[in-house]
Chains A and B, each alone.
Chain A
């Protein structure tokens, strides 16, 4: 079996695995909501749905003590945040629960520890409490607060038309800058560019590292790809920048047949390259089995994210840690190791384990395979 055949079989197998994970995830999440509502407390029994987002139950042992449960969601960073509110017959919120979220665990813990949801306890739906968002986790906390308010309003019956979520001007600026960066990359790589390409590339890379990395901290990652594939963006996102960046990277890749993102825009790559320029080293030696292991990692992470319908499950990259200090201790150790290794070999993460390489390799392989087939058809 030639290497080419192995690659082709793996490519098809990867697609099948992703599809299977997606379908299995769908099976898993059907009917989960009702079970979760019932799980909010053992005291609530006989839960049944009475409206689109409203459920009714009663307290254990007292069939007359009706309790109303409403579930509402609001777009957070990685997808919708679902909050459930339990209200008694006097209209007081007795219990509040975070039912589901796909935002990164660190952010969610930060918001929960700040007792954002606790502020709703004991209030009535007619007077929603004033809760401040948590600094450093604005998107997640705002989503939770709005979802809680929505849930309370559901019970009161005063939910207005949930129109499209307004995009803030800040997001428009970020999107505009991202598009500008990609246009610059496209321009530099084209044959119309007459000035020194090396310096131009380095200049663009520096600009992208500062803007996308340090300033905004919105670098696309495998989680963004999972978000794109899982279709969470259709329900509305709070921040589209990373997604726009990813889509543009793919568009430019298909248009120019070159991976301009990794070479000219990726902020983490910029960091590594900057450090590597201090010591002027060469790239690490990458063997074939290393290549397959990195592909396996990317596939496993993506499948897990699709199965659990949680894009942040796919996150094993250090991008968030390097610029926003988000992530576990293992990721911190990984980031420090990568940055120190960047002084010894050139772009160690990019060359060895970054999931961008398998993803772009896959796209290039599929494109070559499909267009070659079409070329053969034309010739014959």
Chain B
């Protein structure tokens, strides 16, 4: 990905992974502040969905980088759509509910 360097590839992906974890943990903290406490498996599902979305965007942009721009857009469109739908279902089930007691 970074031609001519040695470490930058690894550092890049470590930073990406750390950012993803921070984003999802931030979402969990925000949910707690709104009074809705997500269970551990819900957090795991949200993280998996978000990671899959990142993977789809990464795959699509890789294709675009290989001068297959249309294929890149189709990749994102065809694979990203089910991901967005599943995330919407997850948000609907886990987030958009009245805060429960306890």
Contact = CB atoms under 8 A, between A and B. Distances in A.
Contact present between A and B (CB < 8 A) = yes
Interface of A: 275, 278-280, 329, 332-333, 335-336, 339-340, 343
Contacts of A278: 85, 88-89, 92
B74 A332 contact: yes
B73 interface: yes
Name the 7 nearest CB pairs between A and B, nearest first: A336-B77, A343-B88, A278-B88, A278-B89, A278-B92, A279-B88, A339-B81
Given A329-B70, A329-B73, A336 B81 contact: yes
A343 B70 contact: no
B45 interface: no
Interface of B: 70, 73-74, 77, 80-81, 84-85, 88-89, 91-92, 96
Given A275-B88, A279-B96, A336-B81, 14 more contacts: A275-B85, A278-B88, A279-B88, A279-B92, A329-B70, A329-B73, A332-B73, A332-B74, A333-B73, A336-B77, A340-B81, A343-B84, A343-B85, A343-B88
A87 to B, nearest CB: 41
B56 to A, nearest CB: 12
A343 B88 CA distance: 7
A332 B74 CA distance: 8
27 contacts: A275-B85, A275-B88, A278-B85, A278-B88, A278-B89, A278-B92, A279-B88, A279-B91, A279-B92, A279-B96, A280-B92, A329-B70, A329-B74, A332-B73, A332-B74, A332-B77, A333-B73, A333-B77, A335-B77, A336-B80, A336-B81, A339-B81, A339-B85, A340-B81, A340-B84, A343-B85, A343-B88
B45 to A, nearest CB: 15
**Which of A280, A333, A335, A343 has the largest number of chain B CB atoms within 10 A?**
A343
A336 B73 CA distance: 10
A280 B92 CA distance: 9
A327 to B, nearest CB: 12
Contacts of A275: 85, 88
Contacts of B77: 332-333, 335-336
B46 to A, nearest CB: 16
Contacts of B92: 278-280
Nearest to A343: B88
A336 B84 CA distance: 11
